[in-house]
Amino acid sequence: MPKSYRVAILGATGAVGTELIDLLATRNFPLESLKLLASPRSAGRTLSFRGETLPVEPVAEGCFNQVDVVLASAGGSTSKTWAPKAVAAGAVVIDNSSAFRMVPEVPLVVPEVNPEAAATHQGIIANPNCTTILMTVAVWPLHQVQPVERLIAATYQSASGAGARAMEEVKIQAQQILNGQDPKPELFPYPLAFNLFPHNSPLNDQGYCQEEMKMVNETRKIFSAHDLRVSATCVRVPVLRAHSEAINLEFKQPFPVEKAREVLQTAPGVKLVEDWSTNYFPMPMEATGKDEVLVGRIRQDLSHPCGLELWLCGDQIRKGAALNAVQIAELLVEKDWVKPREVALSQ
């Protein structure tokens, strides 16, 4: 088995794509080669990787030949078109869009939670929604000690969830407001600077938006707990990068706060951040650029003897997207769950 792999990033010029490039370098992923792919309008650009200048190529027929792993972050319609072609060319696709998450045959993976699911892939592995990733990293260790019976989430989602242009839009709006001008929304339906609004993804008949239902359905799939009671309220807030979440957990029996704190203190991918004497808990400003999900303000739910409350913050672009995808790729390499193309063809 070769010790290095040929990797392609689909959507290389976006916020998540550039983060993927950085992570492959800083985490020393075993690369033989790296191909950067994007839409035709981005073709011709160059990006830096390990001191080299790499060209951005347009995604086109044949571009996945001699590629072992594709890290895709280019949107659902692009993934639906190109992921099957990449698989047919012999690559494993780790897809960051929502296109395949709820397809029964496609594993939905958070390495700290259900790494074994990646072994069942048939060419495509789905990266969960950012809010789901951050939440499951924090909740799963507790669920292992005592199964969660009901989970209520309220999210405070940063502009980065809508991409680099959305982050820039918030900056421009903030300056417009400070200059006494009316803020002009373009990507968002309403001004986000100095404002907030419920997530603007499409609503279903029950009044839940698409983003909220992602948290419901994806958590059940990742936990293999299809009867888990989950409800979410997702809100877009004027933060540039890093999501926050208030989580309420209900168990069958009381879950002592000190026990929860002890569990989370050593949980993979979690960093406990609590100083009750100064009212210091996780903040998106401090989560930005961090790999870990910051968790704190763990307390007994006063309204329910078996309830537990916690607060978390995590970098949406990093652990909420790019890092989770790279960790899946690292898992495939470590466990030998991805075969280089020439080996696959010889079998």
Could you tell me which residues are annotated as the binding site? 13-16, 41-42, 101, 157, 160-161, 183, 236, 316
Binding site, annotated residues for phosphate: 101
Contact 38, 15 (CB under 8 A): no
Q: Amino acid identity, residue 83?
A: A
Which residue is catalytic, options 121, 143, 199, 243? 243
Find, among 95, 102, 47, the residue nearest to 74 by Cα. 95
313 catalytic, yes or no? no
Strands 148-157 vs 243-251: parallel, antiparallel or unpaired:
antiparallel
Q: What does the block give as tokens for 204?
A: 């279903």
Query: Which residues have a Cβ under 8 Å from the Cβ of 222 and sit 6 or more positions away?
Result: 108, 109, 110, 113, 114, 117, 128, 132, 136
Distance of alpha carbon 208 from alpha carbon 155, whole angstroms:
13
Binding site, annotated residues for NADP(+): 13-16, 41-42, 160-161, 183, 316
Distance of alpha carbon 11 from alpha carbon 163, whole angstroms:
12
Which H helix or E strand runs over 131?
Answer: helix 130-145
130 catalytic, yes or no? yes
Which residue is catalytic, options 130, 143, 234, 313? 130
Burial class (CB in 10 A: 0-12, 13-18, 19+), 44: exposed
Binding site, annotated residues for substrate: 157, 236
Q: Which residues are catalytic?
A: 130, 243
